[in-house]
A and B are shown apart, each in its own frame.
Chain A
Amino acid sequence: MKADKRFTLYRIGISVGIALLIGYIIVFIASVPSTDIAFMKKMKEAFDSANEAYKYFLTGALVRWRFTGAAFNQSGFIQWINEAVPIIITGLAVSMVFTAKQFNIGAEGQMFLGAAVATAVAIYFPGIPFISTLLVILTAMAVGAGFASIPGFMKAKLKASEMVTSLMLNYVAFFMGLFIIKTFLRDTEAGSLVSLEFQQQTMLPLLNERYRWHIGIFIALGMTVLVWFIMKKTTWGYKVKLIGDNIKFAEYSGINSSKMVFQVQVAAGAVAGSAGIIELLGYHGRFLWLYSPGYGWDGIIIATLARNNPLFVPLAALFLSYIRVGAKIMGRYTNIAPEIVAILQAVIILLVTAEAFLAKWKQRSINKEATQSETNDTPVQVGEVR
């Protein structure tokens, strides 16, 4: 049945369209000037400035608008790619647990704490290109995996809801991460709460010095291929899919479901653990988050948009980071706060996952398919044998 896939695509397209439309309406309302002028004039001004804002929003990541015309926006482009990196990784992690129908939404904490602990290695371990970098990333992954093992264990052995525990742990990870940075790794000379700088040699190689385009995107794409292979080609991935599809069936088939529930959460935790530190290694060169950056939550959106298929994760992440960068650029030129993206994201998730959205339309095409094949169905004859 092709109708299924086709309608998923339509649904995603239409959802994005509706989200952008809602965003436009909000921008429009925000752009209505408060000055005391005629209503029509007000509307006109709002319309103009909303259009202007949306122009930045939709194209800002690629186009630099000058008085003389449009030019390629190199910094925007690089920002777009760079910002996609951590959320590709969390998207992969979330798609793994979601495939197993484990609602472990602890990627945020795993990412944050992983970055905080690995920061220590990045500061103090001698900078040896590749080796120290790898070590830092592996540390972050180990921390992510270790942290994810708590809800994993509690679900597998105690049947405690992994959703609630992983969420609680996000807060714990946040406070613990901050504590580590503040107490052990703080750069006391800096004005704000940031860590000491990483070893120069440990940082990721750059493709572009000026805007700091780092090779994180290749790491993320490499991880995509790896996760894809594991999930789609190995017996382990098959088991994960099976426990997600019907866990009782998996058990009945002889699969140790508790073990898989634990393993998939830990494996996803390892992936998620590396998301934050890669960005720090590539871009910032030190730990500087005072708020949890939200990449774990983005991972949920991305996995949902990608329908948990690892190969679609980079596409979804690039889409998200595109509108994010656009929103930031819009925020620079107008007074529209970039957090508007959160509203768009919510609308997109709601509609993309709405099974019954467009269902009538879909049913109509199914009816057509079914009635067509019906006419070929020769009526059963008396005396006919199977």
Chain B
Amino acid sequence: MNEMFQGILSWDFIASGIRVTTPILLAALGALIAESAGTPNIALEGIMLISAFIGVIVSGFTGSLWLAIIFGVIVGTLMAAILAYFALKLKTDIILAAIALNIFASGGTIFFLAMLTGDKGSSASVNSLLIPNVTIPIIDKIPILGDILSGHHSITYVAIVLIFVVQYMMYKTPLGLRIRAVGENPDAAESVGISVVKTRFIALMLSGFLASLGGLFLSMGYVSWFARDMTAGRGWIALAAQALGGLNAFGVAAGSFLFGFTEAVSYSLQIFDIPYEFTQSLPFIITIIVLGIYAWRKVKASGKLNVSNSSVGPTEK
């Protein structure tokens, strides 16, 4: 028991928590933007996976880190654009469309991996690159603080900055105002000449962009290869983190850290004699429990009775 606490409380553990949180946080910020626009993006899982794949393949075949990043981001954003096109233009149910994209990502990455490398399990044979870590001078030298704050992956820093950027964008800029307006009352937005389709398109593409950064982090930072279905549910956990944090970037970040640290705990537990299957399921179980408690408190607070929201809110419908 003592050992365990030592494991959990070590500074390494915090650093590892931050690392594990990064992809969840990025995808969750994406989920926040999409949700604000009234078009939940549940293709985050697939978008991350595709970007992770593209990053590895492009860097492996071209040897260029920048090309890998650029293509990873473009393809991820493009996936979101496809989702937007089908949901907004062709009126496909956005959830089914996203499920289709997730299926595409899961099978498609394996297909192309096999086509390009002859291996269906992982990209071990590809000599792919890593996006470097960043050492912050001076802080780096301070004990403890240096361990926690410095030496992280560059995308981790980007993710932290993006918390503030997303919050600023959503609540201070015209684009954010429009996204929120479109999400809350699309007809109202349309009536003042804002194109609902265009605004939602942008929101979904931004969410795809953020998720693709998360994907790149997975295959070019967290580990240095691509493996089939390597996102392993992080896109879904990100949705849960968003549900917890609401439409506030700081809340969403808090939710992401909660789940990230749970995952980190599950890793530290692996040194003990606990079967690996249990530690692996832990983040998911915790997510379900937290979601349950959160939902329960919300239900209690509003005193609603039925499954549909038959509550009487403010008079405006």
* Cα separation A383 to B310 with both chains bound (whole Å): 44
Q: Write out the residue numbers on chain A whose beta carbons fall within 8 Å of the beta carbon of B236.
A: 164, 167-168
Inter-chain contact B295/A154, CB cutoff 8 Å? yes
Whether B316 sits at the interface, judged by CB under 8 Å, is: no
Q: Write out the residue numbers on chain A whose beta carbons fall within 8 Å of the beta carbon of B233.
A: 167-168, 171
In chain A, positions 115-171 with a C-beta closer than 8 Å to chain B are: 150, 154-161, 163-165, 167-169, 171
Inter-chain contact A339/B284, CB cutoff 8 Å? no
Whether A346 sits at the interface, judged by CB under 8 Å, is: yes
Chain B interface category by residue count: 35 or more
Q: Write out the residue numbers on chain A whose beta carbons fall within 8 Å of the beta carbon of B281.
A: 171-172, 175-176
How many chain A residues touch B (CB < 8 A): the figure is: 57
* Cα separation A105 to B102 with both chains bound (whole Å): 13
A29's nearest neighbour on chain B, judged by CB, is B115
Known interface pairs A158-B299, A172-B284. Does A163 touch B111 (Cβ–Cβ under 8 Å)?
Answer: no
How many whole Å from A90's CB to the nearest CB in chain B?
14
* Cα separation A301 to B115 with both chains bound (whole Å): 25
Q: Write out the residue numbers on chain B whose beta carbons fall within 8 Å of the beta carbon of A99.
A: none
- Chain B's interface: helix, strand, loop or mixed, by majority? helix
Inter-chain contact A353/B92, CB cutoff 8 Å? yes
Interface centre among A337, A350, A357 (most CB of B within 10 A): A350
Inter-chain contact A337/B114, CB cutoff 8 Å? yes
Q: Write out the residue numbers on chain B whose beta carbons fall within 8 Å of the beta carbon of A243.
A: 307
Whether A300 sits at the interface, judged by CB under 8 Å, is: yes
Q: Write out the residue numbers on chain A whose beta carbons fall within 8 Å of the beta carbon of B287.
A: 164, 168
Inter-chain contact B243/A342, CB cutoff 8 Å? no
In chain B, positions 292-312 with a C-beta closer than 8 Å to chain A are: 292, 294-296, 298-299, 304, 306-308, 310
* Cα separation A334 to B307 with both chains bound (whole Å): 52
* Cα separation A229 to B298 with both chains bound (whole Å): 38
Known interface pairs A183-B275, A343-B111, A354-B92. Does A159 touch B299 (Cβ–Cβ under 8 Å)?
Answer: yes
Inter-chain contact A346/B100, CB cutoff 8 Å? yes
Whether B280 sits at the interface, judged by CB under 8 Å, is: yes
Inter-chain contact B296/A158, CB cutoff 8 Å? yes
B97's nearest neighbour on chain A, judged by CB, is A350
Interface centre among B103, B104, B243 (most CB of A within 10 A): B103
How many whole Å from A203's CB to the nearest CB in chain B?
28
* Cα separation A161 to B291 with both chains bound (whole Å): 9
Inter-chain contact A354/B90, CB cutoff 8 Å? yes
A252's nearest neighbour on chain B, judged by CB, is B310
Whether A251 sits at the interface, judged by CB under 8 Å, is: yes
Q: Write out the residue numbers on chain A whose beta carbons fall within 8 Å of the beta carbon of B304.
A: 159
Inter-chain contact A345/B95, CB cutoff 8 Å? no
In chain A, positions 237-262 with a C-beta closer than 8 Å to chain B are: 243, 247-248, 251, 257-258, 261
Whether B205 sits at the interface, judged by CB under 8 Å, is: no
Known interface pairs A154-B291, A160-B291. Does A248 touch B310 (Cβ–Cβ under 8 Å)?
Answer: yes
Choice from A159, A163, A175, A346 contacting B277 with Cβ under 8 Å: A175
In chain B, positions 73-101 with a C-beta closer than 8 Å to chain A are: 86, 89-93, 95-97, 99-101
Whether A77 sits at the interface, judged by CB under 8 Å, is: no
* Cα separation A154 to B296 with both chains bound (whole Å): 9
Q: Write out the residue numbers on chain A whose beta carbons fall within 8 Å of the beta carbon of B299.
A: 157-159
Whether A190 sits at the interface, judged by CB under 8 Å, is: no
* Cα separation A161 to B278 with both chains bound (whole Å): 24
In chain B, positions 262-293 with a C-beta closer than 8 Å to chain A are: 275, 277-278, 280-281, 284-285, 287-288, 291-292
Q: Write out the residue numbers on chain B whose beta carbons fall within 8 Å of the beta carbon of A165.
A: 288, 291-292
Known interface pairs A165-B291, A257-B307, A350-B100. Does A342 touch B111 (Cβ–Cβ under 8 Å)?
Answer: yes
Whether A361 sits at the interface, judged by CB under 8 Å, is: no
Whether A311 sits at the interface, judged by CB under 8 Å, is: no
Known interface pairs A161-B243, A342-B108. Does A169 touch B92 (Cβ–Cβ under 8 Å)?
Answer: no
Inter-chain contact B284/A349, CB cutoff 8 Å? no
Whether B107 sits at the interface, judged by CB under 8 Å, is: yes
Whether A315 sits at the interface, judged by CB under 8 Å, is: no
Q: Write out the residue numbers on chain A whose beta carbons fall within 8 Å of the beta carbon of B280.
A: 171, 175
Known interface pairs A154-B292, A258-B307, A349-B103. Does A164 touch B243 (Cβ–Cβ under 8 Å)?
Answer: yes
Inter-chain contact B308/A247, CB cutoff 8 Å? yes
Inter-chain contact B93/A342, CB cutoff 8 Å? no
Choice from B103, B284, B294 contacting A345 with Cβ under 8 Å: B103
Inter-chain contact B288/A300, CB cutoff 8 Å? no
Inter-chain contact A345/B107, CB cutoff 8 Å? yes
A246's nearest neighbour on chain B, judged by CB, is B308
Known interface pairs A154-B292, A171-B233. Does A355 touch B90 (Cβ–Cβ under 8 Å)?
Answer: yes
* Cα separation A261 to B306 with both chains bound (whole Å): 11
Q: Write out the residue numbers on chain B whose beta carbons fall within 8 Å of the beta carbon of A65.
A: none
Inter-chain contact A158/B90, CB cutoff 8 Å? no
How many whole Å from B85's CB to the nearest CB in chain A?
9
In chain A, positions 313-372 with a C-beta closer than 8 Å to chain B are: 335-337, 339-343, 345-347, 349-351, 353-357, 359
Choice from A160, A169, A251, A359 contacting B284 with Cβ under 8 Å: A169
Q: Write out the residue numbers on chain B whose beta carbons fall within 8 Å of the beta carbon of A336.
A: 115
| Contact mask for chain A residues 176-189; partner B; CB cutoff 8 A; 1 contact, 0 none | 10110011000000
Inter-chain contact A251/B310, CB cutoff 8 Å? yes
* Cα separation A156 to B292 with both chains bound (whole Å): 11
Inter-chain contact A339/B101, CB cutoff 8 Å? no
Known interface pairs A150-B288, A356-B89. Does A339 touch B100 (Cβ–Cβ under 8 Å)?
Answer: no
Q: List 12 A-B contacts (CB under 8 A).
A: A164-B240, A168-B284, A171-B281, A176-B277, A179-B275, A243-B307, A247-B306, A251-B310, A335-B115, A339-B120, A342-B103, A353-B93
For the complex of A and B, list the 3 residue pairs with the smallest distance between their C-beta atoms, beginning with the closest. Answer: A342-B107, A346-B104, A354-B90
